[in-house]
A and B are shown apart, each in its own frame.
Chain A
Amino acid sequence: METKVFLELLSNGKGVSGFEYPLQNTIISAFDKYLDDISVDKLGNVIGVKKGTYKDNEKSIKIMIAAHMDEIGFMVKDIEENGFIRFTNVGGIDPRTILGQEVIVHGKEDLFGVIGSKPPHLQEPKEHNKAIKMEDMIIDIGYPKDKVEELVSIGDPITIRRNIKNFLGNRIAGKALDDRAGVAALYECMKELNKINHEVDVYFVTTVQEEVSMAGALVSTYKINPDIGIAIDVGFGATPELPRASTVELGKGPAITLGGNIHPNLRKELVKIAKEYNIPNQIEVTPGPTGTDARAMQITRDGIPSLLLSIPLRYMHTSVELLDMEDIKNTGKLLAFFIASISNENLEGLLCY
Chain B
Amino acid sequence: MLLKELTEASGVSGNEKEVRDLIISEIKDYVDSYKIDRIGNIIAYKKGKDIGKKLMVTAHMDEVGLMIKDIDNDGFLKFMTVGGIDKRILVSKPVLVGKDKLPGVIGAKPIHLQKPDERTKALNIEELYIDIGARSKEEAEKYVSVGDYAIFDSEYIEFGEELIKAKALDNRVGCSLLIKLIREVTDISFYAVFTVMEEVGLVGAGPAAFEVNPDYAIILEGTLCYDMPKLDTHLIPTYLNKGPAISLIDRTTIYNKDLRNKIVEIAEKNNIPYQFRKTSMGGNDSGKIHTTREGSITATISVPCRYIHSPASVMSKKDYDNTYALLKEVLSQFKKEEL
Contacts and interface: CB of A to CB of B under 8 A. Distances in A.
A112 B157 contact: yes
B237 to A, nearest CB: 8
Given A112-B160, A239-B107, A319-B92, A96 B119 contact: yes
Interface of A: prevailing SS? loop
B161 A168 contact: no
Interface stretch (B48-56, B194-202, B302-310, B329-337): B302-310
A121 interface: yes
19 contacts: A80-B230, A82-B229, A94-B108, A94-B119, A100-B310, A100-B312, A112-B159, A112-B165, A116-B314, A131-B88, A144-B161, A147-B161, A165-B153, A168-B132, A173-B131, A240-B74, A318-B108, A320-B92, A322-B131
Contacts of B146: none
Contacts of A132: 88
Interface of A: 80-82, 84, 92-102, 111-114, 116, 118-122, 128-132, 138, 140-144, 147, 162, 165-169, 171, 173, 236, 239-242, 246, 251, 291, 314-320, 322
Contacts of A80: 229-230
A239 B134 CA distance: 12
A94 B114 contact: yes
Nearest to A81: B229
B339 to A, nearest CB: 31
Interface stretch (B1-9, B19-27, B122-130, B259-267): B122-130
Given A92-B111, A119-B309, A168-B132, 19 more contacts: A80-B229, A81-B229, A81-B230, A93-B111, A94-B108, A97-B92, A99-B91, A102-B312, A112-B160, A118-B228, A119-B308, A168-B102, A173-B103, A236-B110, A236-B113, A246-B113, A315-B105, A315-B131, A316-B111
Contacts of A319: 92
Contacts of A100: 89, 93, 307, 310-312
Contacts of B159: 111-113, 141-142
Given A131-B88, A168-B134, A315 B110 contact: yes
B92 A167 contact: no
Contacts of A129: 121-122
Contact of B163 (A82, A142, A240): A142
B135 interface: yes
B305 to A, nearest CB: 10
Q: For A168, A169, A239, which residue has the most chain B Cβ atoms within 10 angstroms? A: A168
B123 A320 contact: no
Q: Which of A82, A94, A111 counts the most chain B CB atoms within 10 A?
A: A94
Q: Which of A111, A128, A131, A140 has the most CB of B within 10 A?
A: A140
A131 B121 contact: yes
A280 B154 CA distance: 37
Given A165-B94, A240-B76, A114 B224 contact: no
Interface in B155-176: 157, 159-161, 163, 165
A84 B122 CA distance: 24
A339 to B, nearest CB: 29
B211 to A, nearest CB: 31
Contact of A166 (B103, B107, B154, B306): B103
B112 to A, nearest CB: 7
Contacts of B281: 121-122
Interface string B48-84: 0000000000000000000000001010100000001
A238 to B, nearest CB: 8
A173 B87 CA distance: 22
Contacts of A171: 133
A262 to B, nearest CB: 19
Contact of B94 (A92, A111, A320): A320
A143 B161 contact: yes
B271 interface: no
A242 B113 contact: yes
A315 B92 contact: yes
A113 B132 CA distance: 27
Nearest to B229: A80
Contacts of A97: 91-92, 108
B133 A101 contact: no
Given A128-B122, A142-B163, A142-B314, A322 B91 contact: no
Contacts of A81: 229-230
Interface centre among B88, B112, B235, B308 (most CB of A within 10 A): B88
A25 to B, nearest CB: 26
Contact of B143 (A84, A99, A147, A168): A168
Contacts of B38: none
Contact of B224 (A119, A128, A240, A251): A119
A169 B92 contact: no
Contacts of B91: 96-97, 99, 318
A149 to B, nearest CB: 14
Given A114-B312, A246-B113, A84 B228 contact: yes
Given A119-B224, A168-B139, A315-B92, A114 B108 contact: no
